[in-house]
Structure 1
Amino acid sequence: MVDLSQCYLHKLGDAERGLLAELRGLVPSLVEKAREASEDAKKTERLTIWGVDLEKESEASDIILLKYLRAEELNLDKAATRIVDTLVFRADCKIDGLREAVLPGCYQGHDVISGLDVEGRPVMISRFGKMDLEKVFGDIEAFVRYRAKLMEEAMAQLSFKKGEPEDLTQVHDYSGVPLIFQTSQVKDAVSAVTKVFSDHYPETKGKTIFVNFPTAFAKLFKAFSLFIPERTLKKFQILGENDHAQLFESIPADRVPEGLGGMHRDGALAGPCKQVQVRARCTEEVCLLKVEKTPCSIDWELRVCYWDVSYEVWFVADGTSDLVQKSDGLVQATDGVISGQYVAKTAGELRCHFINNGAWFKSRLCLARAQVHM
């Protein structure tokens, strides 16, 4: 296996620096080859990849050239050929205009590109449960165009600066996807888009997380994984319905959408959440916020990530406790984020008790946070 650890701009080895210089010198001829191979490329004034002009020497263009070198395991000729192919693909398929393209309704409302993971990568989340699967996967060309548009939007979030993240984290949510759906149709569409991304979006996959992934789809994953290099395949993670703690290790809970068990939503509080694992038949207390300057208003939010739990919110000061709010029975994960406000007249602490008395064996993962109202 070729060592690619020094094929990054911020830690470039001597051999890799030489390969980059050689590939850099070939760029004008590669652009010319692309123009000769494509009428659309010939008509385009500047040929770019993700908005970066390879003919203009810069950190951004060096980073992209190094991506192609890594993808071809430092084989200069293969990297050069793939660059030409990508320039032709982007010109012929009008990829540069995809970010502004309006997609058919069946592709809208299922994806969000927002926030960063724990390593600073842009996060792209796709939820398949509410899709019209026949329409979405039925037209392979339209499906590839749809996914390419999302990739272009996500790649636009990268800085292409030395030492900063160069790839993406993608989350694919399969909750609500019917198991009786004909997976052969899905397989054809996914195989097509995987090949396009493998050929023309090299070294962009930082991590791909499958959440709420049904066992029945394991064979589908195995089928299209044949198109994926082993080094890339290691970046995949498959999580079940209640593996939120593992998801939050990659993406902070405050950046995970409410619908996926996190705390991110329109109008939500800012900042990190506290995670609390509540064992069966136990109560766990968490301090949400300490305040000293009063009076002040405190906004608070909490939720259970899976199954159910009951809760009590208290304000504790000078040995006295004021019950702020308690649940009316069990709160379900499907209830999402519960929020409220409390006016503190004295210094003290806002605390939450998560109560898991209804469970005999299973623990619950809960989230909570609070801040002074701004």
Structure 2
Amino acid sequence: MDMQSPAPTHSPSSQSEEAPAKKGLKALMDATLRSSSSFKEDSYLSSTLKDSEKKALEDFKSRLHKSADRFSVDSKAPHVSVWGVPLLGGDERADVVLLKFLRARDFRVQDAMAMLEKCLDWRKEFKTDGILDEDLGFKELEGVVAYMHSYDKEGHPVCYNAYGVFKDKEMYDKVFGDEEKLKRFLRWRVQVLERGINLLHFKPGGVNSMIQVTDLKNMPKRELRVASSQILSLFQDNYPEMVARKIFVNVPWYFSMIYSMFSPFLTQRTKSKFVIARENNVAETLYKFIRPENVPVQYGGLSRSEDLQAGPAKPASEFSIKGGEKVHLEIEGIEGGATIVWDLVVGGWELEYGAEFVPNAEGSYTIAVEKCRKMVAGDGPIHNSFAAKEHGKLVLSIDNSLSRRKKVAAYRYLVRRSSSSVPA
């Protein structure tokens, strides 16, 4: 039977505000969130282009046709392509690609042409078109350092980056120990990016960019300076307008000082894509852009990498718990003989959780399914099940009464009867 996600019931409580954070970082977080909310991604629809932008696009195409022989192996039938998109011959995807280069150079045609030429030369030299088929030997980094994981609310593929593992000297030396190892790592990092680009539509009005989430927790900044600068340079020079939003999570308090140093070198458009989240509000920030069932468990979501192989994730319901508040989620209408399975996660935890089954029949005893216990930061999502022997309801209790901070949370469930299972 279909069941609607119940609205949480709230017990009376007093509200209290979170203690102020470092002023510089908090101001930067607020500013980037406001700026990001006003950022408007290109639709690449011709109807949205200004006359001057349409003229620049036509000029760009004309220049590319004249220079096609330089990039094609067949001078009789010139063929120029990038990311699998032929740039000559009228393919509508070509306009999307060319507009990315134009946007990156503020519609200065000559500069955009120079950028495209350098990109095509680099891709030929780097042998990028065949990179997806290579085994570069970084299995231990897959799903840890840089990886694609699901989509945001608007359908953008999401790329996660986390370099904290390199705080371990042995791991650092293994990956970056010499020039040859660094080159191989850069090649692997480009491979991950190309996987994400394979998920893009390159069509007007389609999904034409991705989301990047960068985890700064335990990142050894000094040791990774060379690798970071080379990665940044490669991406800026050869992958224009591929990122719709850049979200930094687990940001240290001193990040605002670092940001102030490189901020003058960033365009306003680039800065408007930034979102910054401290360690205690990672889930809250990510939930603004990515549904909780698509957020990895290590960032306060319900998604595990192995779940991605099973198709689209089952939707979860979001809710929030104020500081000093208790929330009870009641899942009613459970029949005797049915099994209920549920997932629950709270961003950052640091509260108490318990579950009980309350039978409908008078005189029946309430069953403690999960004894109330303290859940701390770092705990993964709850995943549990209960086989009901009689009609009743399941009550999930989340007690945030000892905290002053509001927490974001999400849950989902399904009820399986003895003969069938029906998602709720």
TM-score of the alignment, normalized to the shorter chain, above 0.5: yes
Matches within 5 A, 1:1-374: 8-9=44-45, 11-34=48-71, 47-105=80-138, 107-110=141-144, 111-131=146-166, 132-136=171-175, 139=179, 140-177=182-219, 181=220, 183-221=221-259, 228-243=266-281, 244-265=283-304, 266-267=306-307, 270-287=313-330, 289=331, 291=333, 296-315=338-357, 322-323=366-367, 325-344=369-388, 349-357=393-401, 359-373=402-416, 374=421
Q: Report the AA paired with residue 311 of structure 1.
A: Y
Task: Verify the 8 A CA contact 2:355 2:372 in the aligned structure 1.
Answer: no
- Classify the secondary structure of the residue corresponding to 1:329: strand
Partner of 2:28: none
Query: Does the aligned pair in 1 maintain the 2:294–2:313 contact within 8 Å?
Result: no
CA distance in 1, matches of 2:266, 2:391: 57
Mapped partners of 1:254, 1:191: distance in 2: 33
Of stretches 223-232 and 65-74 in structure 1, the one that deviates more from structure 2 is 223-232
Give the secondary structure class of the aligned counterpart of 1:150: helix
**Take 2:201 and 2:270, find their aligned partners in 1: how far apart are those partners?**
22
User: For residues 403 and 101 of structure 2, what CA distance do their matches in structure 1 show?
Assistant: 54
The count of residues paired between Structure 1 and Structure 2 equals: 359
The Cα shift of 1:98 comes to 1.8
One-letter amino acid matched to 1:275: E
Q: Is the 8 A contact 2:335 2:388 kept in 1?
A: no
Give ranges in structure 2 of 5+ residues lacking alignment.
1-39
Q: Confirm or deny: 8 A CA contact 1:299 1:371 kept in the other structure.
A: yes
Q: Decide whether the 8 Å contact of 1:211 with 1:238 is kept in 2.
A: yes
Does structure 1 retain, via aligned residues, the 8 Å contact 2:43–2:205? no
Note closer, same or farther for the CA distance 1:325–1:346 as it changes in structure 2 (3 Å cut). closer
8 A Cα contact 2:369 2:386, kept in partner: no
Sequence identity percentage: 27
CA deviation vs aligned residue, 1:109-130 (integer Å, no higher than 9, x gap): 4233122112221101122222
Q: Any idea what the Cα deviations from partners look like across 1:19-53, whole Å, max 9, x if unmatched? A: 32332233333332345xxxx999xx954211212
SS of residue matched to 1:102:
coil
> 1:293, 1:372 → 2: CA distance?
9
* 1:131-175 Cα shifts (integer Å, max 9, x gaps): 334554565534432322221111111111221121110111123
Residues 334, 232 of structure 1: CA spacing in aligned structure 2 closer, same or farther, 3 A cutoff? Answer: same
Report how far residue 298 of structure 1 moved. Answer: 2.0
Checking the alignment, whether the CA contact within 8 Å between 1:107 and 1:136 is kept in structure 2 is no
After TM superposition, the score normalised by the length of structure 1 is: 0.83
CA distance 1:62–1:283, change in 2 (3 Å):
same
Counterpart of 2:194 in 1: which secondary structure?
Answer: helix
| Structure 1 residues 234 and 58: CA distance shift in structure 2, 3 A | same
Cα deviation, 1:224-277, whole Å, max 9, x if unaligned, reads 556543311221112111112122101111111111111101359933333343
Query: TM-score under structure 2 normalisation?
Result: 0.74
- By relative contact order (CA 8 Å, sep 6+), the higher-ranking structure is 2
Give the AA of the match of 1:64: V
Judged with a 3 Å threshold, the aligned counterparts in structure 2 of structure 1 residues 250 and 49 are, in CA distance, closer, same or farther, namely same
Query: Does the Cα contact within 8 Å between 1:31 and 1:84 map onto a contact in 2?
Result: no
